[in-house]
Amino acid sequence: MRPARPSIFNRIENIVDLVANAFSIVGSIAILSLMLTTIIAVVWRYLLNNPIFGIEDFSILTLSVVAAAAIAYGARKDAHVSVDLITHFANKRVLHVVDVIMRVFVVGMTGFATYALTRQACGLEHACITENLSVEHRPFYYILAAGMAIYFLHSVLELVNSFFDQAQNSTEKEVE
């Protein structure tokens, strides 16, 4: 008898997928606006010889939205770069142990990063504003924290799924 995964995990996975897809749309819009901003800035600076004041601030803030979208969507779609050398040298049991250790580290790091982006991102002085227009960075740190939180939830779900998969594999071996 194989262990059943609780349905709450399926609902959480569906919600994480929905939010990651929403991040992909937001990231796509941010990329388009960044491209247009770059074109406009170059035209104004070099052809009209009149740089736009504060355009760098807008570009930096837009890049933070792009990074947040890339984190969330890339994690969910397994698009982040990884190197897997251990599969060539170790058996499945060792791979499972290493995989669990790696996922625990990822959960810890993404959890800490999410916390840091929401609580300590501006430092003790709380002076995080853009250079020219004095736009506060804090809302954009929250967007980055949301992207990191999706990565955190994705990693927790993968960790839980690895235990259910391991339990399923061991019950299948017992049946044979």
* 15, 82, 5, 107: CA torsion to nearest 10: -70
- Which residues form the domain of 82? 7-175
1 in a domain, yes or no?
no
pTM here is: 0.84
160 in a domain, yes or no?
yes
- Distance of alpha carbon 173 from alpha carbon 168, whole angstroms: 9
Q: What pLDDT was estimated at residue 127?
A: 63
Q: What pLDDT was estimated at residue 1?
A: 44
At 7-48, the pLDDT tens digits run 888 899 999 999 999 999 999 999 999 999 999 999 999 998
Backbone angles phi, psi at 136, to 5 degrees: -75, 135
155 in a domain, yes or no?
yes
Specify the number of domains making up the chain: 1
2 in a domain, yes or no?
no
| Contact in structure between 68 and 146 (CB atoms under 8 Å) | yes
Which regions of the chain are under pLDDT 70? 1-4, 123-127, 169-176
- Distance of alpha carbon 32 from alpha carbon 54, whole angstroms: 18
